[in-house]
Amino acid sequence: MEAIDVAGWSALLLGLTALFAGIGALRKPGAWRTMLEEVERSPALQFLCGMLELLIGAVIYLANPWLPADLLSCVLKAMGGLMMAEALMILGFVDIYTQFWLRSLTHMHRGWALSTVALGLGLSVAGALHLA
């Protein structure tokens, strides 16, 4: 049985998620702001979002070894760690954290959406090349 290329698949799937989330935000300006406002108002959504991001971040972090020879694996491990840190911020300080993003999205919505598309495209290409 062949080993699964965890770094390649992680990058490809995370990249496609970011790419299409960014495209969706460009297609429907204000959608991210609405989602954040809904999360801010709902303790159940706060907990669910925090736990889901913690789970996904932990899986990415734990599945990708720190191999200095494999830059993609190291980048993904760092991203998984950052996702876990963000999840803990959401769980513990959602009122402060969402206000930061709501202010940021008011003035830089298109910039964040384009950045997300670029990150998603980069991860998708890196993942696809790693799988090839």
Q: For the chain of 132 residues, list the mean pLDDT of each consecutive stretch of 10.
A: 85 97 94 88 93 97 94 96 96 88 80 95 97 90
| Residue 2, pLDDT score | 65
User: What is the rounded distance in angstroms from the CA atom of residue 132 to the CA atom of residue 124?
Assistant: 12
Closest by CA to 6, choosing from 70, 91, 68, 49, is 70
- Residue 17 counted as domain residue: yes
Residue 103 has a pLDDT of: 81
Whether the pTM exceeds 0.85: the reply is yes
- Give the total number of structural domains in the chain: 1
Q: CB burial class (10 A; 0-12, 13-18, 19+) of residue 111?
A: exposed
Q: What is the model's pLDDT at position 65?
A: 92
Q: Is residue 68 assigned to a domain?
A: yes
Is 1 contained in some domain?
Answer: no
- The verdict on residue 11 lying in a domain is yes
The residue with tokens 């889901």 is 52
The domain in which residue 30 lies consists of 6-131
Confirm whether 29 is domain-assigned: yes
